[in-house]
Structure 1
């Protein structure tokens, strides 16, 4: 990359090797609350007593810090329950058990089980969970006490939660786990308070009934009903009717019905159900389907596998489509990676069943739990990287400085100045004969047969997959190729089935592309758009450098708030603003080509038009209706910075690896351990290329 694209810094750099083994390149997602997924798994397993806690990966104190989760042993358990989440542990949790608890309630309410616990553990830090439990204890103890309640805070803050879906999940999870609490949102901050309605109801009915009623109320399950214990006291029933009608009458309605007890005596019970109109307010068929869909969330650990390849394996084992999986981003192949995933139409139990099978493919799944929706691309804060660079050497033309000094100089330079935010080589199929952007260009030009032939272009190896690809290019025999292709190549097999049925012609290839999931079809188009963005960023730095000039596009909070559409926040720099140096280079963005973006009003904008014309896309609308592909485009910052950086020098010797503190590095044996965070959609390989000034 460095030989083709412009770079940010002018330091000399150094040489080295990355990804000499998968364990030298460890990638861990950072969720929207800034927590490492691996820490979440380790924390949960430690709470269960399954394994010792792992060191804090944010502040490594030792160069021998183990990779996340690797100390957990072979008997990891894939679950999300904490030590106090079973009903039998209620007393240990500090929530006083109800006095005179009823053993049986006529109706059933939704149980606040694994889903709510999983949500709390996945969205809240362990310390916040503990403080929440303590707040719940204080509320209950204050109610149960016969004396004046102790001076405890009237409310408790879970902190700001910016993602609306995460806020909704937390609201529900807290109320399901602690029905005697209520939650409200203030400026994206979730506040927890005592639920005085619960306290009043628990004075009319048993505490268990009150708990179950509020769980039922919060779950809002369509067509569900809740029944209180049979009650022969008419005046008491009237009080319960009146209370529910007064407090929740807009949502539910009550009805008395006759029941027969064990002794054959007739009695009366109160049944509660949701009002019909609460379920019929402009609810589309899609909303109803979304409610009925089953989603299971988990953390996937994979080794030496592409994300889409891992999904192909998983979908084959589970008997679902690859499109039933959602994730926040694509992860490196030659690496050990941890990423959040959600699969539709699969129960947690079913996912656990395939654990031993997928381990043979280099995968493990952790923290399996029910969730209520799929994931979205970009729904993460970033990624944490633990990378070992081996075989450290000076640049071939550098003999003027100590290697250790050169490395420190390079790292500090990029730490201060940042790096050009290029898309990494893995976006394009690094090292492959045909890269993904070439397929994307063929699709945008609606050259369907060419795109299929590019898709099946083999690599220079003689394994069964590439043998099958060669056979197809030579024969156009989709059926014969299908027989040769291994089962795990799900995308290729889906495409071949369609080609066998409809033919290897324009229409048949359209059918073939439509047979694979939309997310995979659009991946190729996005790869082409990414290549154009890389070239545009390189051109921008080559002609203007780090100065913000007239016609540049900037993303500024002055032009709309963070909730405004992105297009409203993109501003074209004026000549007076250039003269006054109003904007900094880190605010400059460039468009990913699409039908709804605007181009810079300077030489960079002209470059875009000429570059697209070169590929025959001067009139392209970035919509391929035949394939249901729609590419509106977006904007990407041209400069990014590294976060939470630490690094250590290592030297191999006959006894193992030691840290080099003060001495010069032995050039033939030296290695470098880097730990850092990057924002989402940033590439560690790009950052390393900027640091080292050599192709990786």
Structure 2
């Protein structure tokens, strides 16, 4: 598995086998409380729960005014950045990827996007400008606020300009962005200010985020409002300002006191302008998003999504989830699918059971899930065929197991990425494809993607045929329907050809989260090698030049400022613990250790011809800012028991009772931690 990698603990360990069957390896995703999709294993299966909570506005929420009062002026507060969470893994990006996402992402929300696009100095100046606009509004100086402008400088790339427009407006809904001769200008949004005179600032902020996002079939509802004249003013404002884009409708709701009330719903107009209204509101599918719990067995997460997408006639990108789970296991995790109603999802349930999936807890949802948006995973694992290591046959096996479990329960384990991140046992692993994409070798990446395994089945036969003939159309016919990624790529190759341009368009034809998955696999491989080098070079001592993560609650401190470089004096004073040491996941916005480990990173990237790589693959719209990951991790709620079974074996005419012992072990791990890596530390052998 990880033959050259380090162990943290010094116990002897033992041998055994895992994943003899999927039922020997059960993974249950632990959800963060705000998702409200059930936090226990039982709840995952049985609880009927609410949809994920919406994200909060970056602006402080003002007290809600009673709607029976006339609209009056508000005093919006100054925006605050969203602080990144404590160390915990997250992406993949897009990503955030594949048994969870990497740890300590470069911030959460829009702030890191702005910083990566603008750079930290300009990003901070923009934040200061936003505060000045708000302060001017708060003091009643509307003319002064309206005259203020801030330049983001010339931006020649249309894609970068589009990303900046969206990032600024999502972070600061009270600002607007304009382009003058490729120069991007930011100024206060007078429409936002006017709406703040009619509704609360949070409603105004959420409305303009909804307006900027332009999500298909999405709707926005204002708070219940019993004042008919006030509702009329709000209707008129929206129709006057955005009537070509939006339409509004009042409908009956139940307010916080369980009394009937009225609310204004806003939605985007149909392009044809032919949408009809009905008595209950807009004539549309009410369940734009549907949440459910997916149980799968012996299937990759992306493979399961491909099967579901083909059955439901939607795209794989319409599914959202918080992490990738093992194939050779029974796994349970929450998911949300877009453009599918609960009724439609229930219809396909029986068909999915024949393909190794069960669908539970189906209910309407409000929004999609994000990679890394989970608390962790709970594992129930059976290790069979327990034996001593060949050099350790004299000791009592039960004592060896107790010693191993206690040791790792106390000290933890090296936080490597597990083999499933790279395609365990495959001829071409995912990190090799990621490296080809980073080097912008698009044809090579496609051919690596279609490299077959040494088996005779329809999928590998189709891949073999493609490499021999480059006949994309013929390969499409040979591939099974559930191979959605392969088919998406092949359709573009059939249209544009198997050359650099055609392969680039082929990669663009598959979802962004899948494209970036391969790049993150490469970054994970480099991190694993760096962790081994760091431990072999310096051991468990924190040394000068190491990076440590500081637990800072100040929201104004950026992620990079929370990662501190250890000084010589701090090393002498033993100020930090090895459990605080992080290593960077390579990217364009991270800093490296200033000791031998930092030099190792530069030499290692140079070996892969990436010394000048900016970790942005513009042709594929891939942006890899990087993040940080703790070298060591602890295990929680660790428990185990041994189960003996006597198996009668006939040897000639005699009967011998052969005692078989299995280890049943359960524990919780943080996101992006791998149970196989934890077990490797416990057993001291590769699995």
TM-score of the superposition, structure 1-length normalised? 0.65
Within the candidate set 661, 664, 675, 1:670 is matched to: 661
Contact in 1 for aligned 2:644/2:659 (Cα 8 Å): no
In 1, distance between residues paired with 2:371 and 2:613? Answer: 25
Match of 2:350 in 1: 356
Is residue 409 of structure 1 aligned with residue 403 of structure 2?
yes
Deviations 1:305-355 (A, max 9, x none): 111111111111111111111111110000000011111111111111110
Within the candidate set 378, 388, 394, 1:400 is matched to: 394
Match of 2:11 in 1: 11
RMSD: 3.4
Compared CA separation, residues 669 and 226, structure 1 to 2 (3 A): closer
What secondary structure sits across from 1:492 in the alignment? helix
In 1, distance between residues paired with 2:565 and 2:223? Answer: 57
Match of 1:178 in 2: none
Query: In the TM superposition, what is the alpha-carbon distance from 1:33 to its structure 2 partner?
Result: 2.9
Compared CA separation, residues 544 and 312, structure 1 to 2 (3 A): same
In 2, distance between residues paired with 1:617 and 1:382? Answer: 33
Match of 2:549 in 1: 555
Contact in 2 for aligned 1:36/1:384 (Cα 8 Å): no
In 2, distance between residues paired with 1:574 and 1:250? Answer: 61
Match of 1:426 in 2: 420
Bigger Rg over Cα: 1
Detail structure 1 runs of 4+ shifted over 6 Å in the superposition: 162-165, 217-221, 223-228, 248-253
Q: How does 1:185-196 map to 2 (within 5 A)?
A: none
Contact in 2 for aligned 1:224/1:273 (Cα 8 Å): yes
Match of 2:676 in 1: 685
In 2, distance between residues paired with 1:515 and 1:501? Answer: 11
Deviations 1:403-422 (A, max 9, x none): 11111111111111110000
Deviations 1:411-470 (A, max 9, x none): 111111110000000000000011000000011111111111111111111011111111
Q: How does 1:2-81 map to 2 (within 5 A)?
A: 2-33=2-33, 36-44=39-47, 80=48
Match of 2:569 in 1: 576
For structure 1, which runs of at least 5 residues remain unmatched after alignment? 45-79, 81-116, 123-161, 166-216, 229-239, 254-269, 280-290, 656-665
Query: In the TM superposition, what is the alpha-carbon distance from 1:224 to its structure 2 partner?
Result: 8.6
Deviations 1:559-617 (A, max 9, x none): x5367432221111111111111110111100000011000010000000000000010
Match of 1:597 in 2: 590
Query: In the TM superposition, what is the alpha-carbon distance from 1:653 to its structure 2 partner?
Result: 2.5
Compared CA separation, residues 321 and 550, structure 1 to 2 (3 A): same
Deviations 1:70-118 (A, max 9, x none): xxxxxxxxxx2xxxxxxxxxxxxxxxxxxxxxxxxxxxxxxxxxxxx53
In 2, distance between residues paired with 1:250 and 1:667? Answer: 83
Compared CA separation, residues 369 and 606, structure 1 to 2 (3 A): same
Q: How does 1:166-205 map to 2 (within 5 A)?
A: none
In 2, distance between residues paired with 1:557 and 1:546? Answer: 20
In 2, distance between residues paired with 1:544 and 1:292? Answer: 58
Within the candidate set 42, 50, 54, 1:118 is matched to: 50
Compared CA separation, residues 671 and 224, structure 1 to 2 (3 A): closer
What secondary structure sits across from 2:640 in the alignment? strand
Query: In the TM superposition, what is the alpha-carbon distance from 1:223 to its structure 2 partner?
Result: 7.9
Query: In the TM superposition, what is the alpha-carbon distance from 1:669 to its structure 2 partner?
Result: 1.1
Match of 1:331 in 2: 325
Q: Is the deviation greater in 492-501 or in 383-392?
A: 492-501
Deviations 1:4-36 (A, max 9, x none): 111111211110000000000000011113964
What secondary structure sits across from 2:42 in the alignment? helix
Is residue 567 of structure 1 aligned with residue 560 of structure 2?
yes
Deviations 1:238-282 (A, max 9, x none): xx87xx97xx999799xxxxxxxxxxxxxxxx9966599x99xxx
Compared CA separation, residues 683 and 275, structure 1 to 2 (3 A): closer
In 2, distance between residues paired with 1:118 and 1:225? Answer: 19
Compared CA separation, residues 328 and 225, structure 1 to 2 (3 A): closer
Deviations 1:336-395 (A, max 9, x none): 000111111111111111101111111111111111111111111100000000000000
In 1, distance between residues paired with 2:5 and 2:39? Answer: 32
Contact in 2 for aligned 1:533/1:592 (Cα 8 Å): yes
In 2, distance between residues paired with 1:38 and 1:626? Answer: 42
Match of 1:641 in 2: 634
Compared CA separation, residues 668 and 485, structure 1 to 2 (3 A): farther
In 2, distance between residues paired with 1:563 and 1:368? Answer: 40
Contact in 2 for aligned 1:37/1:299 (Cα 8 Å): no
Match of 1:496 in 2: 490
Query: In the TM superposition, what is the alpha-carbon distance from 1:225 to its structure 2 partner?
Result: 11
Contact in 1 for aligned 2:638/2:665 (Cα 8 Å): yes
Relative contact order, higher structure (CA 8 A, sep 6+): 2
Match of 1:375 in 2: 369
Compared CA separation, residues 225 and 12, structure 1 to 2 (3 A): closer
Is residue 611 of structure 1 aligned with residue 614 of structure 2?
no
TM-score of the superposition, structure 2-length normalised? 0.66
What secondary structure sits across from 2:340 in the alignment? coil
Q: How does 1:624-635 map to 2 (within 5 A)?
A: 624-635=617-628
Compared CA separation, residues 668 and 624, structure 1 to 2 (3 A): farther
Compared CA separation, residues 12 and 513, structure 1 to 2 (3 A): same
Compared CA separation, residues 303 and 549, structure 1 to 2 (3 A): same
- How many residues align? The count is 484
In 2, distance between residues paired with 1:538 and 1:589? Answer: 13
Within the candidate set 293, 303, 308, 1:299 is matched to: 293
Q: How does 1:200-211 map to 2 (within 5 A)?
A: none
